[in-house]
């Protein structure tokens, strides 16, 4: 079946991805199952677009992918920890992801960290991107399944269910022989001393990826300034660019500039 369905005039309001996914969820809640072809016809978008939307909804735990479409997930209601975090400042994370993805060249080797904001970078990689993505994030791997032009290297390790990431000594050891043009870093908190995560379990893989990257792009919304995070990942002078969604405090902005770090506010 052709994957180039022309949009109907009445379906143009569904061009925005968040509205499309809301419409898909409405249909799912009403019937319990949707098919790719049905959604493509009703929303007036291509089947490839529908498949990407379904993969995105599967990552956040809203749907289960089945042959030809999707169904509501089995079991009691409730979101996984990762899925719940993905909904916090979701629009800001999408803007940050798009801005960071625009910095990536078509043939770059890009490390994408675990975390909900880094995941948005993977979603926003442009159609012409045909480089390599290195990641230990299971949601990023799922998001890139439809992107056959992208070479993907999965970092193996022990599963962290909260972060939906593969971590541990074996994962960090695997990274040592790689080389990244850019590493997209996600963190829990930032202040004038550096950037932080909540648990040292996350630390070894992040630092290994930092060690093999030429440039480091930190993606974090402005609420991460002074947020919870007890384990320091690195100092600010290891960060080449911070992509955020709004102004940071004057003191932190000044410290970033002193460290030679560029600050980009995604609009």
Task: Give the CATH number of the domain where residue 235 resides.
Answer: 3.40.50.1360
The last residue of one of the domains, among 77, 108, 125, is 77
pTM of the model: 0.71
CA 116 to CA 97: how far, in whole Å?
10
Instruction: Assess whether 32 and 149 both reside in one domain.
Output: no
One-letter-per-residue 3-state SS of 186-208: ECCEEECCEEEECCHHHHHHHHH
Cα separation, 149 vs 131, in Å, equals 8
Question: Per mean pLDDT, which range of 44-58, 75-89, 190-204 is the poorest?
Answer: 75-89
| Model confidence pLDDT, tens digit, residues 204-256 | 999 999 999 999 999 999 989 988 788 999 999 999 999 999 999 999 999 99
If you average pLDDT over every residue of the chain, what do you get?
A: 87
Report if residue 114 sits inside a domain.
yes
Residue 265's φ and ψ, nearest 5 degrees, are -100, 115
Domain contains 3: no
Does 2 map to a domain?
no
What is the token pair recorded at 16? Answer: 């925005």
What pLDDT, on the 0 to 100 scale, is given for residue 96?
A: 97
Do 163 and 246 lie in a common domain? yes
Say if 1 falls within a structural domain: no
Choosing from 40, 58, 77, the residue where a domain stops is 77
CB atoms within 10 A of CB 36: 21
Give residue-wise pLDDT tens across range 94-114: 999 999 999 999 999 999 999
* Residues 100, 14 share a domain: no
Shared domain check, 133 and 58:
no
Compute the distance between CA of residue 237 and CA of residue 234 in angstroms, rounded to an integer.
8
Residues 221 and 239 in one domain: yes
pLDDT tens, position by position, 135-154: 999 999 999 999 999 999 99
Residues 173 and 223 occupy one common structural domain: yes
Closest CA to 55 of 65, 40, 44, 67: 65
Query: Is residue 62 in some structural domain?
Result: yes
Does residue 56 sit within a domain?
yes
DSSP for the chain?
Answer: --S-PPPPGGGGGG-SHHHHHHHHHHHHHHHSEEEHHHHHHHHT--HHHHHHHHHHHHHTTS-EEETTEEEPPSSSS---HHHHHHTTTHHHHHHHHHHHHTTS-TT-EEEE-SSHHHHHHHHH--TT--SEEEE-BHHHHHHHTT-TTSEEEEPP-EEETTTTEEESHHHHHHHTT--EEEEEEE-SEEETTEEEES-GGGHHHHHHHHHTEEEEEEE--GGGBT-S--EEEE-GGG-SEEEESSPPPHHHHHHHHHTT-EEEE--
Please check whether residues 90 and 208 belong to one and the same domain.
Answer: yes
Give the lowest-confidence range in 22-31, 148-157, 164-173, 227-236.
22-31
Distance CA 6, CA 243 (A): 35
Same domain, 119 and 153: yes
Q: Are 237 and 263 contacting, i.e. CB atoms less than 8 angstroms apart?
A: no
Q: Are 141 and 154 in contact (CB under 8 A)?
A: yes
| pLDDT single digits (tens) 29-52 | 766 788 898 889 888 899 999 998
**Residue 97 shares a structural domain with residue 33:** no
pLDDT at 181 over 60: yes
The verdict on 98 and 191 lying in the same domain is yes
Total domains, the chain? 2
Predicted pLDDT of residue 173: 95
Q: Which residues contact 225 (CB under 8 A, 6 or more apart)?
A: 189, 190, 191, 248, 249, 252
- Domain CATH number, residue 62: 1.10.10.10
Give me the domain span that covers residue 23: 9-77
pLDDT at 84: 64
Report the residue count for the chain.
Answer: 267
| Residues 259, 165 within the same domain | yes
Structural domain ending residue among the three candidates 44, 77, 110: 77
Residue at 96 is within a domain: yes
Does 256 lie in the same domain as 206? yes
Residue 4 lies in a domain: no
């Amino acid at each position: 079946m052709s994957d180039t369905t022309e949009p109907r005039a009445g379906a143009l309001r569904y061009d925005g991805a968040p509205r499309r996914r809301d419409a898909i969820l409405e249909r799912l809640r009403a019937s319990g199952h949707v098919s790719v072809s049905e959604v493509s016809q009703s929303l007036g978008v291509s089947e490839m677009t529908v498949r990407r939307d379904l993969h995105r909804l599967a990552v956040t735990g809203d749907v289960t992918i089945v042959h030809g479409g999707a169904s509501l997930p089995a079991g009691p209601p409730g979101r996984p920890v990762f899925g719940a975090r993905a909904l916090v400042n979701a629009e800001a994370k999408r803007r940050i992801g798009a801005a960071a993805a625009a910095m990536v060249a078509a043939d770059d080797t890009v490390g994408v960290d675990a975390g909900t904001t880094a995941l948005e970078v993977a979603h926003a990689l442009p159609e012409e991107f045909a480089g390599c993505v290195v990641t230990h994030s299971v949601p990023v791997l799922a998001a890139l399944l439809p992107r056959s032009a992208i070479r993907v290297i999965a970092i193996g390790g022990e599963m962290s269910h909260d972060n939906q990431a593969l971590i541990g000594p074996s994962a960090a050891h695997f990274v040592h022989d790689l080389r990244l043009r850019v590493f997209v870093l996600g963190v829990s908190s930032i202040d004038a001393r550096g950037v932080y995560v909540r648990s040292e379990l996350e630390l070894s893989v992040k630092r290994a990826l930092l060690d093999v990257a030429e440039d480091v792009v930190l993606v974090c919304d402005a609420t991460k300034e002074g947020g919870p995070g007890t384990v320091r990942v690195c100092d600010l002078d290891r960060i080449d660019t911070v992509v955020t969604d709004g102004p940071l405090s004057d003191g932190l902005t000044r410290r970033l500039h002193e460290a030679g770090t560029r600050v980009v506010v995604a609009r």
